[in-house]
Amino acid sequence: MLRKTSSTPEPRPAPGLIGASGAVRRLREQIAELAAVDASVRISGEPGSGKTFVAHAIYDASPRVGCPFLSINCATLPVEQVEADLLRGGMAVPVNGVLLLDDADGLNPDVQSAVLRVLTASPLNVRVLMTSTADSHHVGATATIVVPALRDRRGDIPLLVDHFLEVLGRRHRRSVPRLCQETLDVLLGYSWPGNVGELEHALERTLLACDRSVVQPAHLPVTLRTHAAMTAVATAPLSLEAAVDALEARLIRWALEIVRGNRSRAARWLDTSERVLNYKMKKLGIDHMQYRA
């Protein structure tokens, strides 16, 4: 049987709503409009964009705040179990409250329609919210709200970085470093296919890797470093050999920066031998001594 996650969810931070971009302002306006009515809502967006946070924001701003809130992650439960429990009365748990069908893409559209019909016609007085990916279509929902992708609101990244570093610093009991401009440029130039969720995970790994007061690009996860290095090389009109040299030089410098000029550690960090690293450093004119602390 379905079990409610909590009768009154604890307040949750909503990083997906942090920002000053036009996209976020419009999202806040939509949330306020939909919170004021009692319609069923489909919340659409890419993975990691903050759809669940938006559902909680609608609940928190609605007249039903404080009423039961049942959240069902449809992606982690067998579809047959979710469908059977919903249609045989499991929805009585959030009576007069809110039912969130999180990650509802796997549910049969007919079941979604049946759930909405049952709730509309029943005395349970339950409001339904559902989240789904951007390219899915769900029948029955009265309104749809689309959560913007992070790449469509890059101007919000500095504010999100400040928020996450502060939260993560408290969580891991670490002092919060600041980002140098080159590091921020790397974050701004990345496409963020995992959206806000990917940014949070990247910053957590960065915070744990950084032992200084300033975050350098070398402290970022390898995916971001490689993307930034390849982007820089791709923008320059170079021959193939020169492009490879430029990419290797940037990665080697970042490695030496993070290990403070220790060549053996830099070689391990780059997954190569110290002999190969020394050869490339000599070829590229890189002096490890300038990276000594």
Where residue 292 falls among pLDDT bands split at 50, 70, 90?
Answer: confident
Domain residue ranges of the chain, discontinuous segments joined by +? 15-148, 152-291
What is the CATH T-level fold of the domain 15-148, as seen in this structure?
Rossmann fold (3.40.50)
Where residue 11 falls among pLDDT bands split at 50, 70, 90?
Answer: very low
pLDDT over threshold 80, residue 155: yes
pLDDT over threshold 80, residue 15: no
pLDDT at 113: 72
Q: How many CB atoms lie within 10 A of CB 123?
A: 7
- Average pLDDT of span 167-192: 92
Where residue 250 falls among pLDDT bands split at 50, 70, 90?
Answer: confident
- Average pLDDT of span 143-147: 93
Where residue 6 falls among pLDDT bands split at 50, 70, 90?
Answer: very low
pLDDT at 123: 76
Sheet (strand 98-102) strand order: 69-73, 98-102, 127-132, 41-44, 143-146
Burial code (b: 16+ CB inside 10 Å, e: under 16) for 147-172 equals bbbbeebbebbeebbebbbebbeeee
Where residue 121 falls among pLDDT bands split at 50, 70, 90?
Answer: low
Strand extents, DSSP E, 6-163: 41-44, 69-73, 98-102, 127-132, 143-146
- The CATH number of 152-291, from 1.20.140.10, 3.40.1000.10, 3.10.580.10, 1.10.8.60, is 1.10.8.60
Fold match, 15-148 / 152-291? no
Q: What are the tens digits of pLDDT across the range 192-202?
A: 999 999 999 99
280 close to 244: Cβ distance less than 8 angstroms: no
User: 42 pairs with which residues across the strands?
Assistant: 130, 144
Strand extents, DSSP E, 108-186: 127-132, 143-146, 178-179
Where residue 4 falls among pLDDT bands split at 50, 70, 90?
Answer: very low
Q: Using a pLDDT cut of 70, give the percent of the chain over it.
A: 82
The token duo for 283 is: 């070829």
Residue of higher predicted confidence among 292 and 196: 196
Q: What are the tens digits of pLDDT across the range 203-232?
A: 999 999 888 888 988 889 988 988 887 776
Which DSSP state fits 88?
Answer: T
2 close to 90: Cβ distance less than 8 angstroms: yes
